[in-house]
């Protein structure tokens, strides 16, 4: 089975939009309400019908409400560009004015440049006529200009996505066996980072299909190797350690107060430990399969006590 890159990008952006914003805009996430997010795929198709059948690039239009008291909605236009295009700046501007004409709201444009061309880095569109001049700057992230260590320093599932795209630029024409090792190393990295099974599952699909094997049968070999790693992996990091402690705490409390109360106490301590380790409310909720509201309540308490310094 082959999955187009534009489809992979669109899906992964939708699955990990809060994490994407943490990756590219850490200074702005506190202003956004990620409980009120809309993906405007149909609206984007209506604005740009010419791009519907174009698989050479991926684009998303997302509406997210701000939580600083403003009634306006922040529109996020995300473009993933995988090849050098001399008309890219103009296309970005066309997106801007059509979106603005339709909604009349603030627009943040992000172009993820996933191409392999070192001299291609569009950042601004300019046009002038006599005494009239227009300049449109948009935010860009050029993967080819990054260092691999950058992705290792960021504990964020979207960092794994970006690292996969980064490595895809570097591989060139690797033989299938070498490509298999690369994909498995990316998978092992996710295990070492301690992401939840659901997060690992979603990103594994991106890793599996983003760079194609010459021989499609290698996909089955990748699946088999991943399965073996899952079965033989030693405790996978902070998540498993905390869950183990949670069980031990539950049994200890259960001896004194009954199993139900013990489980509750153990779960609460597990939530605290993960939050204090730097995981976000959403990540802890996903890891332990607990309602976000419950995790947030504990996070607020820790913050009031001065134990949790930044909002997660």
pTM, full prediction = 0.71
The answer to whether residues 276 and 308 touch, using CB atoms and an 8 Å cutoff, is yes
- Which pLDDT tens digit goes with each residue over 244-273? 555 555 555 555 555 556 567 777 877 887
CA–CA separation, 71 and 37 (whole Å) = 14
CA–CA separation, 120 and 156 (whole Å) = 27
Confidence at residue 91, expressed as pLDDT on a 0 to 100 scale: 92
Helices assigned H by DSSP within the chain: 5-15, 17-24, 41-47, 88-103, 148-152, 157-171, 176-193, 197-210, 218-232, 238-257, 259-276, 281-288, 292-304
- Which pLDDT tens digit goes with each residue over 79-129? 999 888 999 999 999 999 999 999 999 999 999 999 999 999 999 999 999
- Which pLDDT tens digit goes with each residue over 191-247? 888 788 788 888 888 998 888 888 888 988 988 888 888 766 544 445 555 555 555
Confidence at residue 312, expressed as pLDDT on a 0 to 100 scale: 42
CA–CA separation, 230 and 180 (whole Å) = 16
Domain boundaries, the chain: 5-145, 241-304
Question: Element (H or E) spanning 112, and its range?
Answer: strand 107-113
- Average pLDDT, integer, range 290-298: 85
Confidence at residue 137, expressed as pLDDT on a 0 to 100 scale: 97
């Amino acid at each position: 089975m082959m999955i187009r890159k534009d489809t992979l990008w669109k899906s992964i952006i939708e699955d990990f939009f809060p994490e994407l914003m943490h990756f590219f805009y850490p200074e702005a996430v506190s202003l956004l309400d990620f409980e009120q997010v809309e993906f405007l795929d149909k609206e984007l198709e209506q604005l740009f019908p010419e791009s519907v059948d174009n698989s050479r690039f991926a684009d998303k239009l997302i509406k997210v409400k701000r939580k600083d008291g403003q009634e306006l909605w922040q529109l996020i236009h995300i473009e993933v560009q995988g090849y050098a295009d001399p008309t890219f700046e103009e296309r970005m501007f066309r997106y801007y004015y059509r979106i603005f004409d339709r909604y009349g709201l603030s627009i943040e444009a992000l172009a993820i440049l996933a191409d392999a061309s070192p001299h291609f880095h569009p950042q601004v569109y300019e046009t002038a006529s006599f005494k009239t001049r227009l300049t449109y700057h948009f935010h860009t992230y050029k993967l080819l200009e990054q260092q691999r260590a950058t992705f290792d320093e960021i504990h964020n599932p979207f960092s794994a996505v970006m690292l996969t795209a980064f490595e895809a630029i570097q591989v060139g024409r690797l033989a299938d066996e070498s490509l298999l090792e690369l994909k498995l190393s990316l998978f092992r990295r996710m295990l070492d980072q301690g992401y939840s099974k659901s997060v690992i599952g979603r990103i594994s699909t991106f890793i599996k299909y983003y760079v194609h094997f010459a021989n499609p049968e290698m996909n089955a070999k990748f699946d088999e190797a991943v399965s073996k790693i899952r079965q033989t992996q030693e405790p996978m990091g902070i998540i498993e350690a905390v869950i183990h402690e949670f069980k031990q705490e539950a049994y200890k409390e259960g001896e004194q107060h009954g199993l139900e109360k013990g489980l509750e106490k153990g779960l609460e301590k597990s939530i605290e430990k993960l939050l204090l380790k730097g995981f976000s409310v959403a990540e802890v909720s996903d890891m332990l399969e607990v309602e976000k509201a419950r995790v947030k309540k504990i996070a607020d308490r820790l913050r009031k006590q001065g134990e949790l310094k930044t909002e997660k």
